[in-house]
Amino acid sequence: GDVEGLIYASDKQRPDTYFVWEISGDSGFYLEGEPSENRALEINRIIRQELYTIGTASNKCVDFTLYTYPKDWKDYMAIILKDTFPRKYFRRNFLLENPNRREVKLPEGFTLTRVDKSFLDGKLYGDEHIRKWVEDPWKSRASFFEKGFGYCIHTDTEAVSWSLTDYVSDNRIEIGIHTNENYRRRGFASMVINGVVNEAIERGFDTIGWHCWGDNDASAATASRAGFIETESDEVYNAWFDEMDNLLLNGYADLFDHREYLRAVENFEGAIEKREKQGPGAGTKLLKNESGLADAYWFMGCALSMIGERDRAFGSLFKAIELGLERAKQRIELEQLKGLQEDPRWGELLAIIDPADRC
């Protein structure tokens, strides 16, 4: 295959249910078939006893997102993902069918180039993101060059916007797109898509898929402008393999998305406790250094503020400063801290923040 992964089936001869793990940095779990409690229990066993063992030991795998079909699987989600403590999101799916060739008009000073060996052997500012994309989820550069393709708009020195195939199957491809933050809202995404569409037509593909997170309105708008039709929105579940990191991310979600402040405190406390017991050498990606730990203390202070525990909140905030909190100016302006600003300790907190970090 072109993408590294594992496939589980309900029966070797006549399977009616499949569970697939696409092994990559942002790996996908794909479950399709006939829902039942017994199958849900078996899938949970596979995830917790087999896939977590691989994921936590891997330098490549960070997290997973579970996609299911049909939607009836949602009735068994508590069983399937037991003890993974996931976060629920939505993915939006788009299709472009039987497209016509398109004209690619570029502003002066910009070039559209195929992402091939010659391109990857060169050097543009920002092109490390393209190299990573080619190598993940594709098994190798050779696999990408053989079956995949992509284009990049660039200047003489900088990658501007790029679109590459994530997957290729029969007459269909799935693509992704990214634009350098310095060049957004200038139409480059639509231009590079036109190049990819033309290449797809030349290779005989008549269906192009595009997907994005449910809250990524900019990506959805770009897809619409490029002629893609939104087909559905899927409920998906995401968790990180490292328990420490997953606790931290659940803390952020509870603090900012769900406004479940007590639960946020519990998640931040759990992550911090594990970090302090296990040390920075653990498998964590987010709490590997003191900066990440400082963030955890600061945002726990925000959650404590929201449940009225001022003493603990200030203790957590002062600890964050002690650990070297970065981007302090942004953090002191968070709305979750407004309830602390009339307390005398707020002035003490501001006084010890590095003035250079408050600019």
Q: How far apart are CA 76 and CA 24, in angstroms?
A: 25
Do the strands 63-69 and 172-179 form a parallel or antiparallel pair, or are they unpaired?
unpaired
Distance of CA 329 to the CA centre of its chain: 26
Asked whether residue 170 is assigned to any structural domain, the reply reads yes
My answer on whether 318 and 251 are in the same domain is yes
Residue 359 has a pLDDT of 47
3-state DSSP call for residue 26? strand
Backbone angles phi, psi at 84, to 5 degrees: -105, -15
My answer on whether 135 and 155 are in the same domain is yes
Q: Report the CATH number at residue 205.
A: 3.40.630.30
Residue 337 has a pLDDT of 97
Asked whether residue 92 is assigned to any structural domain, the reply reads no
My answer on whether 249 and 227 are in the same domain is no
Asked whether residue 339 is assigned to any structural domain, the reply reads yes
Q: Report the CATH number at residue 352.
A: 1.25.40
- According to DSSP, the residues that pair with 166 across neighbouring strands are none
My answer on whether 114 and 80 are in the same domain is no
- Single residue among 192, 217, 236 that ends a domain in this structure: 236
Asked whether residue 17 is assigned to any structural domain, the reply reads yes
Closest C-alpha among 173, 121, 176, 111 to residue 148: 173
Contacts of 304 (CB under 8 A, 6+ apart): 261, 265, 310, 312, 313, 316
3-state DSSP call for residue 108? coil
What is the domain count for the chain?
A: 3
My answer on whether 105 and 156 are in the same domain is yes
Asked whether residue 228 is assigned to any structural domain, the reply reads yes
Contacts of 238 (CB under 8 A, 6+ apart): 63, 64, 65, 66, 86, 87, 89
Asked whether residue 334 is assigned to any structural domain, the reply reads yes
The whole domain housing 337 covers: 242-358
My answer on whether 315 and 222 are in the same domain is no
Residue 357 has a pLDDT of 58
Residue 356 has a pLDDT of 47
Asked whether residue 267 is assigned to any structural domain, the reply reads yes
Asked whether residue 90 is assigned to any structural domain, the reply reads no
My answer on whether 216 and 313 are in the same domain is no
- Single residue among 193, 209, 236 that ends a domain in this structure: 236
My answer on whether 116 and 142 are in the same domain is yes
DSSP 8-state secondary structure symbol assigned to residue 100: P
Residue 270 has a pLDDT of 97
Residue 355 has a pLDDT of 62
Q: Are 286 and 251 in contact (CB under 8 A)?
A: no
My answer on whether 214 and 107 are in the same domain is yes
- Single residue among 194, 209, 236 that ends a domain in this structure: 236
Residue 200 has a pLDDT of 97
Q: How far apart are CA 74 and CA 248, in angstroms?
A: 25
What string of pLDDT tens digits covers the 359 residues of the chain? 578 899 999 998 999 999 999 988 888 999 999 999 999 999 999 999 999 999 988 878 899 999 999 999 999 999 999 999 999 999 999 999 999 999 999 999 999 999 999 999 999 999 999 999 998 888 889 999 999 999 999 999 999 999 999 999 999 999 999 999 999 999 999 999 999 999 999 999 999 999 999 999 999 999 999 999 999 999 999 999 999 999 999 999 999 999 999 999 999 999 999 998 887 666 788 998 899 999 999 999 999 999 999 999 999 999 999 999 998 888 999 999 999 999 999 999 999 886 645 54
Count how many Cα atoms sit within 13 Å of the Cα of residue 281 in the half-sphere of its side chain.
1
My answer on whether 289 and 257 are in the same domain is yes
My answer on whether 173 and 63 are in the same domain is no
Q: Are 116 and 145 in contact (CB under 8 A)?
A: yes
My answer on whether 186 and 70 are in the same domain is no
Alpha helices (H) along the chain: 37-45, 52-57, 77-80, 117-121, 128-135, 141-147, 188-202, 217-225, 243-252, 261-278, 290-306, 310-322, 328-332, 344-352
Distances (CA, A) of 61 to 23, 27, 250, 284: 7, 7, 19, 12
Q: How far apart are CA 165 and CA 181, in angstroms?
A: 21
Backbone angles phi, psi at 348, to 5 degrees: -65, -40
Distances (CA, A) of 159 to 119, 133, 191: 11, 14, 14
